[in-house]
Amino acid sequence: MLLYLCAQRCVPIKMIEFTVDADSAGMRLDKFLRKKLERVPVSHLFKMIRTKRVRVNAQRAYPHQALQAGDAIVVRGTEEQLLGPPAPRNRAPAVDVSGLKVLMEDGWMMAVDKPSGLAVHAGSGIAGPTLVDQVRAYLGVHAIRNDFVASPAHRLDRDTSGVVLVAKRRPAMVRFTALFTQGRVGKRYIALAKGKMPRLRGIIDVPLSEHQQTAASKALHGVKMQPAITRYRVLSQTKDASFLECQIETGRTHQIRRHLAAVGHPVAGDRRYGDFSFNREAKARWGLRRLFLHAQQIEFPHPEHGANVCVSAELPAELKDVMKRAGLKSDA
């Protein structure tokens, strides 16, 4: 028994070192280590930090501290304990990327044209591959860079088609997040709305209830309203429908759909906020079988050099066909 204890005590404890690269700058220490030491249980990882077995630049480390490029992280432990092979994972089925339309791509980002019906992210009720799956399958081994996996920088409703920006590096995602938060990304949508608009140009300034508010929060604080502003311009119209260009100054969930419904001109094909009778008529007369909302253009400062970038996605053929049958000019 004594020999066993001696053998255990005499095992040399090694130092595993990591240097924080530019792509990981700004990441929290606990998240950085969870990626680097994926075999270590999270509870044990926090214990290692708490018991000073993790040091950053030779100083005591804290789980939530933000890392800087060049930081030296030292972890006390054996390579077998900390860097052993992770548990085997089930191999994901192959994803068909033949339908992925890439509008632009460079080393920092890419922009893709998402079709209607394709979800951006996985979630409840989502079956089959998502846009995330397609993008990562398209990028292959280049989908991961310095532990960051390429991801969309914003969301687009499942039934809405159009431009989606994807960050390929962590600094690009950090920059995009700041740009969207600061309202420095210009987004232009194309929509077909019920009826004839009262003016050729207009502003819809109607506060919208917070979409993610829980029932418990509503019971405790009441419904939280958020300011929301949508600008629209009529491109073509008849007595039955209006072809609109819409720009949003705020990014509320389903904002254009909720705003147009609020002023009595819901988006054609909208099964949630729309007019059932109008949708049925649009399907029968014009062959509309989807939500008529398309993210046509997005303009933003490039996350690397800040130069202005404008990316556009052409109106899908099925929506052009609807326009033709409805007697509207799709090239307005």
**107 and 77 within one domain:** no
262 and 182, same structural domain? yes
> Hey, what amino acid is at 267?
V
Average pLDDT (179-196) is 95
- Residue 240: active-site member: no
pLDDT of res. 221: 72
Q: Would the pLDDT of 15 be above 70? A: yes
Q: How many CA atoms lie within 13 A of 144 on its CB side?
A: 4
pLDDT value at 35 more than 80: yes
**pLDDT surpasses 80 at 227:** yes
Give the domain CATH number at 22. Answer: 3.10.290.10
Regarding whether 156 and 109 lie in a shared domain, the answer is: yes
For the chain, percent of residues with pLDDT exceeding 90: 62
User: Given a cut of 90, is residue 238 above it in pLDDT?
Assistant: yes
Beta-bridge partner residues of 246:
189, 232
**What is the pLDDT at residue 1?**
36
Record the pTM: 0.78
The answer to whether residues 165 and 250 belong to one domain is yes
What is the pLDDT, as a whole number, of residue 231?
Answer: 97
Task: With H, G, I as helix, E, B as strand and everything else as coil, classify residue 191.
Answer: strand
Residue range 299-328: mean pLDDT, rounded:
96
**In this predicted model, what pLDDT tens digit does every residue of 101-154 receive, in sequence order?**
999 999 999 999 999 999 998 876 777 789 999 999 999 989 988 878 999 999
Instruction: Assess contact for 82 and 39: CB atoms under 8 A.
Output: yes
Average pLDDT value for residue range 39-46: 83
Q: Is residue 298 part of a domain?
A: yes
**Are both 175 and 229 inside the same structural domain?**
yes
Residue 265 clears pLDDT 90, i.e. is over it: yes
> How confident is the model over 87-114, as pLDDT tens digits?
555 555 678 888 899 999 999 999 999 9
Query: Which residues of the chain form beta strands (DSSP E)?
Result: 15-19, 54-56, 59-60, 72-76, 101-105, 109-114, 144-145, 148-149, 151-152, 161-167, 186-194, 201-205, 208-209, 225-226, 229-237, 241-248, 293-301, 308-312
Together in a domain, 249 and 318 = yes
Same domain, 109 and 57: no
Q: How far is Cα 197 from Cα 23, in angstroms, rounded to an integer?
A: 48
Range of the domain at 55: 12-82
In a domain? residue 2: no
- For residues 67 and 144, membership in a common domain is answered with no
- Please state, in angstroms and rounded to a whole number, the distance separating the CA atoms of residues 176 and 173: 5
**Phi, psi (degrees; rounded to nearest 5) at 229:** -130, 125
- Is the model's pLDDT at 267 over the cut of 80? yes
pLDDT at 177 over 70: yes
CATH number at residue 283: 3.30.2350.10
Q: Are the C-beta atoms of 206 and 261 separated by less than 8 Å? A: no
Report pLDDT for 45: 84
| Catalytic site residue from 23, 133, 157, 159 | 157
Question: Do 292 and 152 have their domain in common?
Answer: yes
Q: State how many domains the chain has.
A: 2
Structure tokens at 7: 């053998």
197 has pLDDT over 70: yes
Residues 169 and 51 grouped into a single domain: no
